[in-house]
Amino acid sequence: MTRHQVDPRTLPDADLARHLLTVRGVHWMNGDRGAPLALLLRDHAVDRAAVHAGLRDGSPLRQTDLDVWVTAGHATASAVLADPRLTVRDPRTARRRRRPFTLGAGATAKHVLAVDDTVFGLEKGDVERLGALAGPLLDGGEPQSVARGFRELAAVPDGPFDLITDFARPGTAAALAALFALPGEVRDRYAALVGDTAPVLDALLCPPTLAATRALTAAYDQIAEDVDRLVKDGGTPFGDGAPAADVRALCLLVLVGGAQLAVRLIHGTVTALLAEDGAWAAVRDDPALVPAAVDETLRHDPPLRIVSRIAADDTEIAGLPVAAGDQVAVLLDAAGRDPAAFTEPNRFLPGRADRAQPPLLADPAARLLTPLLRLLAFEAVTALAARAPRLAPAGPAIRWLRTPVTGAVARCPVTTGQPPGAA
């Protein structure tokens, strides 16, 4: 946590609204003066590609405020995320009282909300420990159980439907519920609530509205309550003897954070394929092409766009002095389109020959989840292409408000390309 990163449950509406609006206002004012990170975080009518290009013009690390740095380069992004001196939480504020952000604060807000730091504030060592606990589970366990939900949902009626609400989100929820063997009542409740947790990863850096914050924490707390009960009763896929706190963290990381990333990855892969002439028909005819399309989406349109690190001590990055407590924001989407690392970086080219890995994989938590995300996206795209070979957009996608970290999509109208009742 950082000094002004508050747990929204601890504040009455008036104080929480003041905190959220003040951070939002500072992002807005700093964006008006051209601060690149503020432009991205305020998430309003911003040309992300232009901001990224401006950041690449000059130093690989750009100071955007007195104690805030940002990088858009692939090499620097990878180095920052591998540097043990840069942490997810600020160790200097671990014992300090968290205070809502005010205009009179002596530092920038950096992080906004703490929904659950035991799950979304994991350091590299924590993630490695959870990875050892997870074993083959995050590789998808039994692929058939993961695929079943997508295949059933792909049996949509001919005509229009919503890619997010009718397919990607319920399919992901069904797949993860099957993977964790959630009992019936818990499974139904999880499927109903997971949509309200869409801003969970964005809320670290961008203030949601007050209503969205309350809906997020209410949904998350109910899912967490169900997970706590399952952990206590031994109703998780992990063997006896595993630390309960680690089992809880892993379950919630996958069921909440992983679910949002999976939905976003499915959406990104499908829409990228639909935008390329002949690409959807190609994966319909040969599902073996789908993994390359998913991997290219992880680079071209990653489901996690921005990650934040805090300097634990005075250090140097890219030849520049970074003070203890300074924030370093890594733009994963910009780094994935760095022309120094990728040829034709703005083109969606599945199977590209570039050896550089998507920068998303340099983040330990994202890397832990990636095998499962790949499997979910593969099964979703394969099932949908088989069922809807003439799938086409049916209108513009509608994004969640204030989700610059994930680019979360609320609705995405598509059509099977066949009128209702057509053969």
Please identify every stretch of the chain with a pLDDT value under 70, giving residue numbers as ranges.
1, 94-97, 140-144, 239, 418-423
Looking at beta carbons, which pairs linking 283-289 to residues 24 or more positions away fall under 8 Å? 283/381, 283/382, 283/385, 284/385, 284/386, 284/389, 287/382, 287/385, 287/386, 289/350, 289/351
Half-sphere exposure of 165 (CA within 13 A, CB side): 13
Decide: helix, strand or coil at residue 407.
Answer: coil
Select from 291, 282, 267, 297 the least CA-distant residue to 410.
Answer: 267
Decide: helix, strand or coil at residue 411.
Answer: strand
Half-sphere exposure of 321 (CA within 13 A, CB side): 3
pLDDT at 309: 98
Tell me how far apart the alpha carbons of residues 81 and 128 are, in angstroms, rounded to a whole number.
Answer: 14
387 contacts 159 by C-beta, under 8 angstroms: no
Q: Where are the beta strands (DSSP E) in 291-366?
A: 306-311, 315-317, 320-322, 327-331
Give the pLDDT confidence of 48-71 residue by residue, as tens digits: 999 999 999 889 999 998 899 999
DSSP annotation of 257 reads I
pLDDT at 420: 60
Q: Give the largest CA-CA distance in the chain.
A: 67
- Which helix (H) or strand (E) element contains residue 380? helix 364-387
pLDDT at 419: 62
Tell me how far apart the alpha carbons of residues 287 and 270 are, in angstroms, rounded to a whole number.
Answer: 13
Select from 200, 119, 169 the least CA-distant residue to 412.
Answer: 169
Give the pLDDT confidence of 12-42 residue by residue, as tens digits: 999 999 999 999 999 999 999 999 999 999 9
pLDDT at 6: 95
234 contacts 51 by C-beta, under 8 angstroms: no
pLDDT at 151: 86
The position carrying tokens 């232009």 is 50
Cβ count near 73 (within 10 Å): 25
Tell me how far apart the alpha carbons of residues 313 and 322 are, in angstroms, rounded to a whole number.
Answer: 8
Going from the C-alpha of 154 to that of each of 149, 163, 265, the distances in angstroms are: 9, 10, 17
DSSP annotation of 255 reads I
Looking at beta carbons, which pairs linking 37-43 to residues 24 or more positions away fall under 8 Å? 37/64, 37/65, 37/68, 37/70, 37/329, 38/64, 40/306, 40/331, 40/404, 41/205, 41/206, 41/306, 41/404, 42/206, 42/404, 43/206, 43/401, 43/402, 43/403, 43/404
Domains in the chain, please, with CATH? Answer: 8-415 (1.10.630.10)
204 contacts 113 by C-beta, under 8 angstroms: yes
Select from 119, 132, 367, 121 the least CA-distant residue to 238.
Answer: 132
